[in-house]
A and B are shown apart, each in its own frame.
Chain A
């Protein structure tokens, strides 16, 4: 049975000056599903992520979230996790303040309850409760990324967009974070859009992959079918590059 669509993207287009960055992009994402957008640098995948998060206004097309048009607005149930974890965390805040801030913004619970939820989220992200008073710069790169993911998941969003957010994590931590996101997908129906250049990494996780080139989706299929068929030359190229990079390790 087909799952209820959480996100519908129809004919999205975006230009910066004369340069077309997105061209007629369309896809759907069901509740609890995970879709990866892969492609080389500059193919438009990060711009697409920013349009979905409401940070950029598309020139043409429509984004429907739970059947409602986003109209270029930011929706608090959509969480974008940026590529650079260090820069995305307020350096003046403690870890606990960073994770609790979305709850405070959305006025959820008392201050004490927010602190408790932030500490729980940190623990789930593999960060010690005792680290709650530390500031962002006192954490390692991987820990900062986990802090960013804990911050996004603490408010139980409906859609999570990970813009190269897992690239900087080592394999063990990445598996732990993916496990946490997958649990949220099963329990709360969290939809997940993974933006990455590493097709091999996302292939082990998501159910669908869309390959982007020059602002357009050139191949979109279930992970198993896309990897088996590799119809577009770019899909083959990305797969071979990913496999070559994976071999030495």
Chain B
């Protein structure tokens, strides 16, 4: 309990620090939402100054930060000048689509990577392991964006997959099973791109962790007792390999909001990615800050989850605590 309270308190301090820094960087960034209006000769400087004053941009930094922090605590995360509404609900509407995509991709990537990595580690040094490592290195070398573009081109060329969007136009008129099929059909390509991006990283980590555990002296001692491969793997090697994998799982959870932003933009997925990009281009900082803060919350929550899982999984941490 004390461990949990300490970690939560630490997380809150971290969140406050990140929010202050993000707000500072947004304030220091050149230009603002009204920058483009200055190029328009029909709009006077006085009008622009009036608009900036109405948006509260002429107030001192700390006053602006205080007002924004209070708004963030209410879940509004400031006022989006582009949408003319609080940023929180606008971002909230898009989170579901992003989490559906990244959650599915993360789950699939882990489901593939764990057996692949364990299999490869158990055969380390053998030619099959060599082939596995070459495949992973190749996948790792291909950027996600290139994969997204290639998949998109294939979708357009063959017409077998939709080239964007989350559902078909006639989605509302479909039955439950058809709705599920339609959503899966739209998700297939973006999820495949994300899985191919995440999988080699995860599989390599799983392989390295399990291989290290299999080479540890206590595994050697267990081998000396004539232990079977199954018991060796499940009772000794996998628990020993768990710690780095739990930390990696925490990062996976932590990046659920940010892992797919560019892929969403390229593949026309209506999640946070396109909203975030538009907000950056328009210098609509309330939206940008809302997305960054929510990503930070996920990152901190992912790390907290990893800490708690480590505490649960590793008796050594409990002993030290």
Q: Contact residues of A with B, CB < 8 Å?
A: 53-55, 74-76, 78-80, 82, 84, 87-92, 101-102, 105-106, 135, 137-138, 148, 151, 155
Contacts and interface: CB of A to CB of B under 8 A. Distances in A.
A82 B221 contact: yes
B240 A92 contact: yes
A135 B227 CA distance: 21
Contact of B217 (A84, A101, A135): A84
Interface in B209-241: 216-218, 220-228, 231, 236, 239-240
Label chain B's interface by main secondary structure: helix
B224 A80 contact: yes
A79 B227 CA distance: 13
Nearest to B313: A92
Given A105-B227, A135-B315, A137-B319, A89 B218 contact: yes
B2 interface: no
9 contacts: A80-B221, A87-B216, A88-B217, A89-B221, A90-B236, A91-B316, A92-B240, A105-B227, A137-B319
Given A90-B236, A92-B314, A137-B319, A74 B218 contact: no
Contacts of B225: 76, 79, 101-102, 105-106, 155
Contacts of B228: 105
Contact of A87 (B217, B222, B231, B319): B217
Nearest to B223: A74
Interface string B300-321: 0000000000000011100100
B313 to A, nearest CB: 9
A145 B217 CA distance: 13
Contact of A90 (B223, B240, B319): B240
Contacts of A92: 239-240, 314-316
Given A87-B216, A88-B218, A91-B316, 4 more contacts: A82-B220, A87-B217, A88-B220, A89-B218
B75 to A, nearest CB: 42
Which of A54, A88, A106, A137: most chain B CB closer than 10 A? A88
A76 B226 contact: yes
Contact of A53 (B216, B222, B224, B239): B224
Nearest to A76: B226
A78 B224 contact: yes
A113 to B, nearest CB: 17
B217 A105 contact: no
Contacts of B222: 90, 101, 105
B227 to A, nearest CB: 5
Contacts of B216: 87
Nearest to B236: A90
Contacts of B223: 55, 74
Nearest to B220: A55
Contacts of B314: 92
B312 to A, nearest CB: 12
A101 B225 CA distance: 9
